Structure 1
Amino acid sequence: MILITGGLGFIGTHTTRALLDLGESCVLVQRRAATTPGHLPADRVFVEQADLADLKALLDVGRRHDITGIVHLAGSMPWPPGAHEPLEGARGALDTLFNVFEAAREWQVRRVGVASTIGVYGGVTAESPLPEDVPLPLTAGHPIPAFKKVGELISDHLAGTMGLDVVNYRIGAIWGPLGHTPSRFFGAPQLVHAAAAGTVPDLSTVIAGRRAGDGTDLCYVKDCGRAIALLQLADRLRHRTYNVASGRATTNGEVAAAIRRIVPDARVDLPEGRDAPPMWLDISRLRADTGYEPAYDTERAVADYLAWLRAGNPR
């Protein structure tokens, strides 16, 4: 049985579904009270309320369930920025990561997976596709990549000193059902939402990359969840860090073209050109060690996402 922190969140929901499809049962840890969603089987998915900052509450979950693995997606970073006193926020964020490792030791789990981000590659000057062993700068312009870099180093240290099987997931730009809209980091969700609503997309919240030629390693969330599930259940992994992504760059223009093929009158015109060369990740390790291949190209992802939104789902 796999425990997933953040299991009712965006990526967590799809990771849960992928693990169920592979025959596993899941325990989803939620800070706030919640019930098992109706679309998940109640005999194989269990929702537990526990704040990761409360070690006793977390360990109690393992006394009620036979936990064999942990997928830690819940963050371990001060969030949202500015919501906490800086020192208190940083200490609390790292404490949640330490508590996850304490639980792993207590329960003697087989493997711990820890979510990182494509953002750790910010500032890298090497050409794409970027492999996991490319040197990373020790600086970060945002709390997410900053704490993910710290988390990777802590996870690597504890894996060696505690004798745990630990995997860091460097997760690409994820989009699809239940995703965050608007996104500050890329425009694809806004483009699809606007097409579904018959409105003009507003990309003003995107930090950079609003032109047709701008892009990044867009990975559809159903592919992301399946990749994480495969990494959790693989018999043997040869590495401690894996890029979880599509392995290619997808531009805003490519997303807009896929939308137009389904919604010909969609108002998704974008300015030509690009602000920066697209960045994408090398997924050779992931392919070799799990057999993973992305199932959703841009057109299939757009069609699936549009169908989800048109069915009345808000995000």
Structure 2
Amino acid sequence: MSVLVTGGLGFIGSHTVRALRELGEECVLVQRRAATGAVEDGVTVEQGDIRDLASLRAIGERHRIGGIVHLAGSMPWPPSADAPVEDARRALGSLFNIMQVAQDWGVRRVGVASTIGVYLSSGLNEGALTEDMPLSVGAAHLIPTFKKVGELLGGYLADATGIEVVNYRISGTWGPRGHSDPFFAAPALIHAAARGVAPDFSALVAAPCAEDALDLCYVKDTGRAIALLQLAGKLDHATYNVASGRATSNAEIIAAIRATVPDADVDLPTGAATAPRAWLDITRLREDTGFTPEYDTARAAADYIAWLRAGNVS
């Protein structure tokens, strides 16, 4: 039996696949534009489109799928003004397709990526955020809007089909194979230090300062947490925070960078932070899977800088 991972060649997906392999699981990855075939021992890439039910069903004819980790976004991203209704239809249709093949194949558990944004868009932005906090219905941004919709649909489909649907509320994830993030400065700071240049914050929605803080989870820990949730014999909840369980400030990131690159040009202004400090409580995750983060800020920064200096480009 294999675990099907959508988005398995992407940022979080590739690290989740590695963690699943380290735990002894074989993985099948589905990608729209990827070549078909085994990419390494125990990992096979299948070309397919999660928006196309027939292509997903065809994968099940070639592989025995026992679990699904759905990390490809069931949302219209990047957004388009040309056909918003059709884009939304296809995005949500991909979630229905995943659940349909899960039912066809007799899959026991489907994991679905959600986001810390479901809290922040509900005005929950101070202190420890727990999974049982009530969320508002609306959201100003497309991402938390569709993640909230996905969680509600997943709950209904779990009840209707008997399939266990697990929501991963993922915090700010950073590390190898990542990208410039519009909401936090850590990736830009790390890239600047590794390349010996000044950081480029043009992709951020707001200018950063040293005191800005968010629950930052190194991507290797994120992938391992998702793998543990997929493979756990018993889960007591349908929703889990996937995070470090603490708020990390830009000042901490800068100190960690300077432990590896003392002369890095990564200074930020101080005294300008206005946003409250929040983090995701990971008590459920720890109790039900035994997860604890392996990468503190210093280890994460050193690992990421080493990866970039080895010639990797993202």
Identify the TM-score tier after normalising by the shorter chain. over 0.9
Q: Within 2, Cα distance between the matches of 1:64 and 1:35? A: 12
Q: Secondary structure of the residue that 2:4 maps to in structure 1?
A: strand
Structure 1 residues 48 and 260 mapped into 2: Cα distance closer, same or farther (>3 Å)?
Answer: same
2:97 aligns with one of 80, 96, 99:
99
What displacement does 1:222 show?
Answer: 0.2
Q: How far apart are residue 127 of structure 1 and its match?
A: 3.3
Q: 1:179 to 1:133 in 2, by over 3 A?
A: same
Report the equivalent of 2:166: 167
* 1:210 equivalenced with 2:208 (yes/no): yes
Q: What is the rounded CA distance, in whole Å, between the counterparts of 1:192 and 1:33 in structure 2?
A: 29
Aligned to 2:247: 249
Change (3 A) 1:179 1:126: closer
Superposed CA offset, 1:54-95 (max 9, x none)? 101101101100000000000010010126511111111000
> Offset of 1:128 from its aligned partner?
1.6
Map residues 250-289 of structure 1 onto 2, 5 A cutoff.
Answer: 250-273=248-271, 274-289=273-288
- 1:292 corresponding residue in structure 2: 291
Note if 1:12 corresponds to 2:13. yes
In 1, are the aligned partners of 2:166 and 2:239 still within 8 Å (CA)?
Answer: yes
| DSSP-derived class of the 1:243 partner | strand
Please report the TM-score for the alignment, with normalisation by the length of structure 1: 0.96
CA deviation digits over 1:195-253, x for unaligned, max 9? 00101112232113600000101000000000000000000000000000000000111
- Tell me if structure 2 keeps the 8 A contact 1:209–1:275: no
Matched, 1:66 2:67: no
Q: What is the CA-CA distance between 1:37 and the residue it aligns to?
A: 7.9
Q: Per the alignment, in what secondary structure is the counterpart of residue 183 of structure 2?
A: coil
AA of the residue aligned to 2:9: L
Separation of aligned partners in 1, 2:31 and 2:82: 20
3-state SS of paired residue (1:312): coil
Within 5 Å, give how 1:76-115 maps onto structure 2.
76-82=74-80, 84-115=82-113
Could you tell me how far 1:101 is from its partner in structure 2? 0.2
Q: Is contact 1:124–1:135 with CA below 8 Å preserved after alignment?
A: no
Question: Conserved in 2, the CA contact under 8 Å of 1:195 and 1:268?
Answer: yes
2:35 alignment counterpart: 34
Counterpart of 1:68 in 2: which secondary structure?
strand
Unaligned residue ranges in structure 2 (runs of 5+) = none
Match for residue 52 of structure 1?
Answer: 50
| CA 1:280–1:205: 2 relative to 1, 3 Å | same
Percent identity over the alignment? 63
Q: What is the letter of the counterpart of residue 276 of structure 2?
A: P
Paired residue for 1:305?
304
TM-score, normalized by length of structure 2?
A: 0.96
Q: 2:187 pairs with 173, 186, 189, which one?
A: 189
Query: Offset at 1:310?
Result: 0.1
Q: Contact conserved, 2:214 with 2:248, CA < 8 A, in 1? A: yes
Within 1, Cα distance between the matches of 2:193 and 2:74? 34
Question: What secondary structure sits across from 1:129 in the alignment?
Answer: strand
Give the structure with the higher percent strand.
2
Give the root-mean-square deviation of aligned CA atoms: 1.3
Amino acid at match of 1:45: V
Matches of 1:202 and 1:118, distance apart in 2? 24
Structure 1 SS opposite 2:280: coil
Checking the alignment, whether the CA contact within 8 Å between 2:37 and 2:46 is kept in structure 1 is no
Compared CA separation, residues 209 and 254, structure 1 to 2 (3 A): farther
> What is the alpha-carbon distance in structure 2 between the residues aligned to residue 228 and residue 295 of structure 1?
14
Measured in 2, the distance between the counterparts of 1:218 and 1:206 equals 16
Larger displacement relative to structure 2 (273-282 or 67-76): 273-282
Alpha carbons of structure 1 residues 84 and 221: separation in structure 2 relative to 1, 3 Å: farther
Contact 2:38 2:45 in 1 (8 A): no
Q: Which moved more, 1:251-260 or 1:29-38?
A: 29-38
Paired with 2:145 and 2:154, the residues of 1 have a C-alpha distance of 14
Q: Find the residue that maps to 1:219 and give its secondary structure.
A: strand
